[in-house]
């Protein structure tokens, strides 16, 4: 089977499991199966589970998701909801984060940020639009907030699925954090090392790479609260 067919089979399988045993039990089974896999593969599969969960439970499935697998379940759920209903759905999703997802409401907001960024696209102008939507939500300053989801999606492009490639470094390694408003710097810095790991080291990080990342954090955020976040 092609990779696409394999993922489709996975989605069909988890739809059947969700129908048979409920969302929470199926999610627990899913996490036990993917535990220990490569983080990127784990995240991609969590997207597939989230696809199946949305089709089986709709927005009520948000209570099933967690921050595990780099928020993959949240990303898929929120992305589907925004794709289906548009940005008018964001306010409702925010309320669900706080009223239904009591354990990890900020992880839920992080997923909303991914969905908003994916909705607009991946240009610099789109980044500004997505941050403005988060700002209108009056989100708290948290590294798990809507802002951080926007920045992660801007660079990692997880909403595009398995065929996605990360943002190229054509604007320099400090972009976009070197040009965002101060209120967004901490959230941006929280996601930048994840992107650096991909564009500089791929899947084989070593001591020299981590030393380089530390130097980049200093260039990016020295003298600001975002420095600790970057490290």
Predicted local confidence at residue 139, as pLDDT: 59
Over its length of 231 residues, how does the chain's per-residue pLDDT go in tens digits? 445 557 778 889 999 999 999 999 999 999 999 988 877 788 889 989 998 999 999 888 888 888 788 778 887 888 888 878 888 878 777 777 776 655 566 677 888 888 899 889 999 999 999 999 988 876 565 666 889 889 999 998 887 766 668 899 999 999 999 999 998 999 999 999 989 988 987 656 788 889 999 999 999 999 999 999 999
At residue 106, the pLDDT reads: 64
CA 28-156-197 angle, 5° bins = 95
Give the predicted TM-score (pTM) of the model.
Answer: 0.80
pLDDT value at position 89? 79
């Amino acid at each position: 089977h092609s990779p696409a067919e394999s993922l489709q089979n996975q989605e069909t399988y988890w739809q059947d499991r969700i129908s048979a045993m409920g969302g929470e039990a199926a999610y627990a089974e899913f996490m036990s199966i993917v535990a220990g896999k490569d983080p990127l593969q784990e995240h991609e599969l969590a997207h597939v589970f989230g696809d199946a969960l949305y089709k089986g439970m709709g927005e009520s499935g948000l209570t099933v998701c967690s921050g595990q697998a780099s928020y993959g379940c949240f990303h898929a759920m929120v992305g589907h909801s925004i794709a289906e209903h548009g940005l008018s759905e964001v306010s409702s999703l925010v309320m669900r984060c706080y009223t239904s997802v009591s354990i990890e409401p900020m992880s839920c907001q992080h997923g909303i940020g991914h969905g908003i960024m994916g909705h607009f696209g991946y240009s610099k102008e789109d980044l500004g639009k997505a941050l403005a939507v988060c700002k209108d939500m009056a989100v708290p300053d948290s590294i798990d907030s809507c802002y951080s989801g926007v920045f992660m999606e801007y660079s990692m492009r997880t909403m595009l699925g398995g065929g996605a490639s990360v943002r190229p470094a054509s604007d320099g390694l400090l972009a976009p954090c070197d040009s965002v408003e101060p209120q967004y710097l901490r959230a941006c810095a929280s996601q930048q090392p994840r992107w650096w790991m991909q564009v500089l080291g791929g899947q084989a990080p070593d001591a020299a790479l981590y030393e380089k990342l530390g130097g980049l954090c200093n260039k990016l955020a020295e003298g600001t609260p975002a420095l600790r976040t970057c490290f």
